[in-house]
Amino acid sequence: MKNLRKLLTLSSAGLLLSTFSPSTVTLFAQEDTGSEETSEVMDSQSTDTEGNETTEEANEETTEDAANDSDYAFEVETEVINNEEKVLGTATFRQDTEGVVTLELALEGLSEGEYGMHIHTVGLATAPTFEDAGGHFNPEEVEHGTESETGPHAGDLPNLVVGEDGTVNETIEIPNVSLDPEGENTLNSTDGTSLIIHTGTDDYMTQPTGDAGDRQAAAVIFAPLEDSEFYQASDSATSNDDTSTSEEEVDEETTEDTE
């Protein structure tokens, strides 16, 4: 290009800037004679400003979609077993980003009826009695039941209604609890927590359990942590320890035989 001056200033080069993005620059420069017009394009994406705005909108939509995919801050799914250790289905606890906790039950194999259901203070559920689950989850130390003067317990739940077919598919909201280990009235505590389904109906008033009867089904929500008095080492860990001991004994025997 003849007589094209360096583009040091907009005025001296007759520079017109049409489009700018971090990866796209289109420059139009005129010679002093005005007889020739040249276009130099450095383009790694589209040079269309409208296209750039569309890309930004798409990114915003993607971010919103990602947020929608993270509706739950915490989620725990656990198996519910009966007194004979038969799996009846699942109990799924969820806490959304607003802090609301819900319980979704998907069960089958229960007898028709209405049964008391509570969250208990220890994350153990050993059949057939489930007594190791402890008492009702009651961090605020109030009376049991919605019909009592100071209740209910934080672990008091509505009675579970089972139809003729023995199935349960329902979701209930649990107020005043959290799944966040740092949250107020958290179920994710040192001793853990469990879900218990009783054999009788909770009258929401009789102390301390609503006269709900024995325990017919249970599920561990959170197991006790290592610093809990209720902590129990897993069978796999015990098996690994036994295997390690056996291998050490074999090595010692082999060394003795070699000597």
pLDDT digits (tens, 9 = 90+) for 200-230: 999 998 999 889 999 999 999 999 999 999 9
Give the CATH number for residue 106.
2.60.40.200
CA separation for the pair 202, 115 (Å, rounded): 7
Concatenating the DSSP letter of every residue in 206-252 gives STTT-S--SEEEEEEEEPPPTTSTT----HHHHHHHHHHHHHHHHHH
Instruction: Evaluate whether residue 63 is within a structural domain.
Output: no
CA separation for the pair 2, 32 (Å, rounded): 10
Instruction: Evaluate whether residue 178 is within a structural domain.
Output: yes
Domain that holds residue 88: 72-222
Predicted pLDDT of residue 171: 97
Work out the burial of residue 150: count CB atoms within 10 Å of its CB; fewer than 13 is exposed, 13-18 middle, 19 or more buried: exposed
Predicted pLDDT of residue 96: 95
Tokens read off for 92? 């799924």
- pLDDT reading at 120 higher than 60: yes
Which of 14-28, 64-78, 178-192 is the most confident on average?
178-192
Q: Which of 24-38, 97-111, 125-139 is predicted with the least confidence, judged by mean pLDDT?
A: 24-38
**pLDDT mean over 192-204:** 96
Instruction: Evaluate whether residue 119 is within a structural domain.
Output: yes
Count of domains forming the chain: 1
pLDDT tens digit string along 130-167? 999 999 999 988 999 787 788 798 899 999 999 999 99
CA separation for the pair 23, 77 (Å, rounded): 47
**pLDDT mean over 240-257:** 44
Number of H helices, E strands in the chain: 3, 11
What whole-number percentage of the chain has pLDDT above 90? 54
CA separation for the pair 106, 127 (Å, rounded): 20
pLDDT tens digit string along 19-30? 333 333 333 334
One-letter amino acid at 89 equals G
Alpha-carbon distances, residue 123 vs 5, 54, 78, 191 (angstroms):
80, 51, 12, 6
